[in-house]
Amino acid sequence: MEEKHTDDNSTGTSGGYRRASLIILFSLLTIWFVVSFGCGILFREQLDDAFSVGNAPLGFWMSQQGSIICFVLILIAYAILMGRLDEKHGYSETSNKKAK
């Protein structure tokens, strides 16, 4: 016999919120993987031959500096995107303060 969960997180707006937040999360994790693993390891030789940053080949630069910069930019993008999603679904800090 199956149990039915009746908590608020599985219905309507909460389900849409969860789905949208997972899409944001997995999209940003995919970008992080491609930049850090792809550019730093898999495509390093092609990037080294094609471009350079200063005196360093691009593949080396991406594995040392570019992946860190990309990670910081992903953190900023995550905060902005989740803030917008929170406001859209009524979970933002400003909407919680107005309700009190």
Question: What are the two backbone dihedrals, phi and then psi, of residue 56, each rounded to the nearest 5 degrees?
Answer: -100, 140
Q: What percent of the chain has pLDDT over 70?
A: 82
Report d(CA 77, CA 81) in Å as an integer.
6
Q: What are 79-98's pLDDT values in tens digits? A: 999 999 999 988 877 766 66
User: pTM, whole model, 2 decimals?
Assistant: 0.72
Q: What are 59-77's pLDDT values in tens digits? A: 888 888 888 999 999 999 9
Q: For the chain, first and last CA: distance in Å?
A: 41
* pLDDT, greater one: 28 or 97: 28
